[in-house]
Chain A
Amino acid sequence: MKIVVCVKHVPDTQADRSFGADNRVARSEDDVLNELDENAVEAALTIAEEHGGEVVALTVGPAAAAGAVRKALQMGADAAVHVLDERIAGADVLGTAEVLAAAVRAVAEDGPVDLVVTGMAALDSLTSMVPAALAATLGLPALTLAAEVTVADGVVRVRRDVGEVAEVLEADLPALVSVTDQANEPRYPNFKGIMAAKKKPVRTLDLDDVALAAPALAGTRVLQAEERPARVAGEVVLDAGDGGVRLAAFLAERKFI
């Protein structure tokens, strides 16, 4: 089986995040592999271990995004592709899906891709739209937000809980699956994995290499981005036996009662 796992490099959610003067997400050296994509890598590795095969980590992003595929290689992916091209900057869902799709096709040149695995959301944009857009661009069925994934006899099956609905979905391979943080517990790269990753191939490709002549212009534009006033801590009171009464008094004062 050949599995492509899509990983994104994003600002660390624990750090202060911001927009630059160009209304684009500001990048920093502290950017990390999107935490939710660790679940995607884990799912891909587990399936490959069970069925045999190869896992290729794929990222689209600036030079620093090489860090995202490096982490995936350390976790155990076999090879990586990094699409790096200035023309991609500012791409939104449509453009990103188009570039990822072209890269998946490039990977498929030396053997068909059976499964594409993604995370449930990129923690910077939080749109959860790239997986379905990528599947639609590639003409693959999309089984999204999987809490459990199984592959057997050329069929992929997922179990998922979305809002108040529980579903079991199935599709024939090749297909795309996005996994949630409920799907597994991502492994930590061990020393052996970190050393082995140094010898693994990383192909850096530009748009010409993936044969994408004109990437979709961004369909959306951020007109303005501004920091909201920080929430300030209000009153913190120690419960001296009247904590509930104080809480109720506060709600009354704020007209909730």
Chain B
Amino acid sequence: MTGPVLVLVDQTETVLTNPTRELLTLARQVSPDRAPVAVWLGAPDAVDLAGLGAFGVEQVLVPDLTGVDAHAPVAAAEALAAAVAAAEPEALLFASTFVTKEVAAVLAVLLRTGAVVDGTGLSRAADGALVVEKTVFASTWTTRCAVVGGGPALLGLKSHAVEPAPVATPTAPAVVPVPVAFTPAASAVRILERTERHSDDGRPNLTDARVVVVGGRGVEGDFSLVEELADVLGGAVGATRVATDEGWIDHAAQIGQTGVSVAPRLYIGAGVSGAVHHRSGMQAAEVIVAVNTDQDAPIFEIADLGIVGDLTEVLPQAAAEIRRLRGE
């Protein structure tokens, strides 16, 4: 009998993040007869038990992190290896980020197993194998990948792989402590400084947002019009590397090859040329709208609607018209 699906829990302060809810939903979809098992790398009393119960979790494994900083990827990987030894799962699901991908790389070496990351979907093939779908080459190709060789599959999924679906009857998850024998490698990297810059602007997280409005060099230092349009649409604000390099907006807003990669339902780019480095991070958007003064800008080649115009005129007019259409 194959083991359960283990899900790595991520929380914003005290509640499960949306990607975690999606992972729990996927875990139940691929293994309907088996409750997903959660693993939490944090204080045992800080885990969102109600949130996990809403998605049918019966057990939360909590590795004992005494003596290490779980922000160090090797420490996190050793803790997860202990959880894997305890649960003997078929797969470990995690939200694909730079940090979790690094943890998965170390875990793959520790467990001598395979990892597939940046997945956009998860399903079970006719032969029982778990199959991850992912888009590659700037979203121009789709691949379907499986982990072979028997070890637990380490599978990283991006946001929006599925619509979160709570269970009809919530469960009461039990917290199961897991002892870990950390090696010196877990503390070989010393974290001298660590600052989390949580923006408190109330906007959705860039990678989770259904709508993303992006400003490029064309905003010439002023993101207020981009922010205004994002806010009327309830969206997140993103940027090109030019805009983050210039310091007009935080580095965390950079979309593209070396920034974050997004796949929202709607992407609106203003003053963005559509360089290949940027496109690889947004081409998977469902609908693309571009506003640019240059009618030959490459972004128009992939836009569902292109407005050749000055963003300082088009964006405020669009925001006002949206408010008018809503009767505000």
Q: Are the CB atoms of A219 and B148 closer together than 8 Å?
A: yes
A226, CB-defined interface residue at 8 Å: yes
Which single residue of chain B is at the shortest CB-CB distance from A250? B305
Separation of A218 and B114 alpha carbons in the complex (Å): 7
- Alpha-carbon separation in the docked complex, A253 to B147 (Å): 42
Are B102 and A144 in touch, CB under 8 angstroms?
Answer: yes
The residue on B at minimum CB distance from A229 is B140
Q: Interface size on A (CB < 8 Å)? A: 85
Which parts of B162-195 form the interface with A (CB within 8 Å)?
A: 185, 188-195
Closest to B321 in A: A248
Q: In the complex, which of the residues A18, A236, A249 contacts B306, with contact meaning CB atoms closer than 8 Å?
A: A236
Let me know if B145 and A221 touch, CB within 8 A. Answer: yes
Verify if A188 is at the interface (C-beta below 8 Å from B): no
In the complex, the answer to whether B98 meets A19 with C-beta atoms within 8 Å is no
Contact assessment for A170 and B190 in the assembled complex, using a CB-CB cutoff below 8 Å:
yes
Q: What residues of chain A lie closer than 8 Å to B307, measured between beta carbons?
A: 236-237, 239, 243, 246-247
Task: Tell me whether B108 is interfacial, beta carbon within 8 Å.
Answer: yes
Can you list 24 pairs linking A and B with CB atoms under 8 Å apart?
A93-B108, A127-B101, A129-B105, A129-B115, A132-B106, A136-B74, A141-B185, A143-B189, A144-B98, A162-B98, A164-B196, A170-B190, A219-B148, A220-B114, A226-B141, A233-B306, A234-B303, A234-B305, A236-B303, A237-B308, A243-B309, A244-B316, A246-B305, A249-B321
Do A93 and B141 have beta carbons less than 8 Å apart? no
Identify which of B97, B142, B185, B295 contacts A163 (C-beta below 8 A): B97
Is the CB–CB distance between A238 and B141 below 8 Å?
no
A residues contacting B by CB (< 8 A) are 11, 13-14, 17-19, 23, 36, 92-94, 97, 120-121, 123-133, 136-137, 139, 141-145, 157, 161-172, 180-182, 216-228, 230-231, 233-239, 242-252, 254, 256-257
* B35 interface hit (Cβ, 8 Å): no
A129-B101, A248-B322 are contacts. A142–B146 as well, Cβ < 8 Å? no
Asked if A239 and B118 make an inter-chain contact with CB atoms under 8 angstroms apart, the answer reads no
Interface residues of B, Cβ cutoff 8 Å to A: 73-74, 77, 97-99, 101-106, 108-110, 112-118, 125, 131, 135-149, 151, 185, 188-199, 211, 233, 250-252, 257-258, 260, 265-266, 268, 276-277, 280, 283, 287-289, 291, 295, 300-310, 313-322, 325-326
Dominant secondary structure of chain B at its interface with chain A = mixed
Residue of A nearest to B250 (CB): A164
Contacts of B141 in A (CB 8 A): 17-19, 225-228
B189 touches A136 (CB 8 A): no
A-B interface contact total, Cβ < 8 Å: 275
Indicate if the CB atoms of B145 and A228 lie closer than 8 Å: no
Which residues from B are CB-within-8-Å of A225? 141-144
Q: A145–B115 contact, CB under 8 A?
A: no
Complex Cα distance, B99 from A136, in Å, reads 15
Contact yes or no, A254 B258, CB < 8 A? no
Check A233/B302 contact, CB under 8 A, given A132-B102, A219-B113.
Answer: yes
Tell me the smallest distance from the CB of B110 to a CB of chain A, in Å: 7
Q: How far is the CB of B304 from chain A (nearest CB, A)?
A: 4
A residues in contact with B233, CB < 8 Å: 251, 256-257
Q: Is the CB of B288 within 8 A of A231?
A: yes
List chain B residues, Cβ under 8 A from A124.
Answer: 136-137
Once the chains are docked, how many angstroms separate the CA of A129 from the CA of B114?
A: 11
Contact, CB under 8 Å: B108 / A236 = no
Q: How far is the CA of A130 from the CA of B115 in the complex (A)?
A: 11
Q: Are A227 and B140 in contact (CB under 8 A)?
A: yes
Residues of A near B319 (CB, < 8 A) are 244
